[in-house]
Structure 1
Amino acid sequence: MMQTEDIRIGPEGLGGFLTVPDKARGLIIFAHGSGSSRHSPRNAYAARSFEQLGFATLLFDLLTEGEAGDRRNVFDIALLAKRVVLAVDWARQQTRLQNLPIGVFGASTGGGAALAAAAASPHIGAVVSRGGRPDLAGDALPHVRAPSFLIVGGNDREVLALNEAAAARMTCEHRISVVPNASHLFEEPGTLDKVLALSGAWFSKHLAPAGRETIPLPMA
């Protein structure tokens, strides 16, 4: 049975939950959105989905409690991206994790932070943005090299337009997938599971070691 550990990252002591299955095939680091944290039931559900595919997961708070009290920090993509890179560097120093390919799963503002982090760190091998704001990555977008998957709800029209504009600036391998009849948080029955199936296939494809079988990417 997999055990989830409480861990601390960096000099700020950012709290996190780390789960590592036997013979893990990669590590998925979560970059949550504004108003969320490592305690999010939605993120925990997503983590269990990735763990069933053999991925280790790291859910951590991008901000300290004091920092989160200042709303400016919640939308400071440069700061959030630095914290994602901090988590990547922390993972690469852990014996159990240091050889695992790393993906980042971002949501809302965390989608922008994930992409900005991918532009800054060569150690991020794939990115998925769920209902994210990749546009917030700004001038970092053309510098992202990690294959990036932008997943948006069909009813989230404003965010879809922002994703399309961001994708037009990206030069890496990237894809947009629209989940029909889904709102921003994918609260409609079956829509979050659709997101996780798409995300799991993307990570399986792009974080797979040479010679390992990958999961075919489902059609949206």
Structure 2
Amino acid sequence: MKCFFHDTVKIPVGKVTLEGAFTLPQGAESIVVFCHASSRSRFSRRYQKIAQELQQLGYGTLLLDLLTEQEDAAYYYTRCDIELLTRRLTGVTEWLEGYAPAAHLGIGYLAAGTGAAAALRAAYYLPNVLAVVCHGGRPDMAGDILPKVDTPVLLIAGDLDHDILEHNLFAMEELQCRKKLVEIKGAGQLFLENNAMARVVGSAISWFNQYLKAARHHAL
């Protein structure tokens, strides 16, 4: 039976303090940071379930919200402020490297929505980020950074969400790193149809196993 370390962390970034749910299985060598432009996603049962699946495979997880409750409630446009979200994510990642339980861990990002663009930009600025997975996201909003990203990137989109799929196809063309686009058949942006989310999670785990866990083992 696995032993887990749990902590609700408060992370100072600039003028705000962000909250996250940190979980670390005993013996973990890597952590997946969940990147969402909201203030409540860490309470989502769906994301908690994904985190639990990763934890059972030996990954640490940080369920993170990139916005405060006040920002999320009062300013819808902050969800599309990619520079703000990127600063928050890079600040959190740098904090994580100095947080004793996580200082030795390889880092990956699991991002959705506009958090996908922030994850790609942060990965460009932080070479210690080893893998990025974006599902139902807007990686195209990372802009001119896309061709400069070196981190392996997996893009996942439902084929029924035509706009998101087009945005991911564009990002796929721009990215010059190790990359892959997975189209989930019969799924919309939230992957609620049939077992679509299970396919998203399976694809993400395969990517993290290949590029996060494997890279961490190689480094060790």
- d(CA) in 2 for partners of 1:117 and 1:210? 19
CA deviation after TM superposition for structure 1 residue 17, in Å: 0.3
Is this contact kept in 2: 1:34–1:109, CA < 8 A?
Answer: no
2:158 is aligned with 1:153: yes
Q: 1:103 aligns with which of 104, 108, 112?
A: 108
User: Which runs of 5 or more structure 1 residues have no equivalent in the other structure?
Assistant: 214-220
- d(CA) in 2 for partners of 1:70 and 1:92? 30
CA deviation after TM superposition for structure 1 residue 210, in Å: 5.8
Q: 2:149 aligns with which of 132, 144, 152?
A: 144
Aligned residue number for residue 174 of structure 1: 179
Task: Provide closer, same or farther for how the CA distance between residues 95 and 167 of structure 1 changes in structure 2, counting only shifts above 3 A.
Answer: same
Q: TM-score, normalised by structure 2?
A: 0.91
Q: 1:88 aligns with which of 80, 88, 93?
A: 93
Which region of structure 1 is more displaced relative to structure 2, 174-183 or 93-102? 93-102
SS of corresponding position for 1:38 = helix
- d(CA) in 1 for partners of 2:101 and 2:6? 14
Higher helix fraction: Structure 1 or Structure 2?
2
CA deviation after TM superposition for structure 1 residue 15, in Å: 0.8
SS of corresponding position for 2:130 = strand
Over 3 Å off, 4+ runs: 33-36, 209-213
Q: How does 1:55-204 map to 2 (within 5 A)?
A: 55-68=59-72, 69-204=74-209
User: What is the total number of aligned residue pairs between the two structures?
Assistant: 213
SS of corresponding position for 1:15 = strand
- d(CA) in 2 for partners of 1:35 and 1:92? 22
Is this contact kept in 1: 2:38–2:68, CA < 8 A?
Answer: no
Aligned residue number for residue 10 of structure 1: 12
User: Which runs of 5 or more structure 2 residues have no equivalent in the other structure?
Assistant: none
CA deviation after TM superposition for structure 1 residue 142, in Å: 1.3
Per-residue CA distance 1:21-55 (angstroms, 9 max, x = gap): 01013000011145752212221111111111110
Aligned residue number for residue 50 of structure 2: 46
Task: Provide closer, same or farther for how the CA distance between residues 67 and 210 of structure 1 changes in structure 2, counting only shifts above 3 A.
Answer: closer
Which region of structure 1 is more displaced relative to structure 2, 102-111 or 26-35? 26-35
Higher strand fraction: Structure 1 or Structure 2?
2
Per-residue CA distance 1:138-178 (angstroms, 9 max, x = gap): 11111211100000112112111111111111111111001
Is this contact kept in 2: 1:33–1:106, CA < 8 A?
Answer: no
Q: TM-score, normalised by structure 1?
A: 0.91
Identity of aligned residues (%): 36
2:45 is aligned with 1:37: no
- d(CA) in 2 for partners of 1:160 and 1:205? 24
Q: 1:26 aligns with which of 5, 8, 30?
A: 30
Is this contact kept in 2: 1:88–1:123, CA < 8 A?
Answer: no
CA deviation after TM superposition for structure 1 residue 82, in Å: 1.2
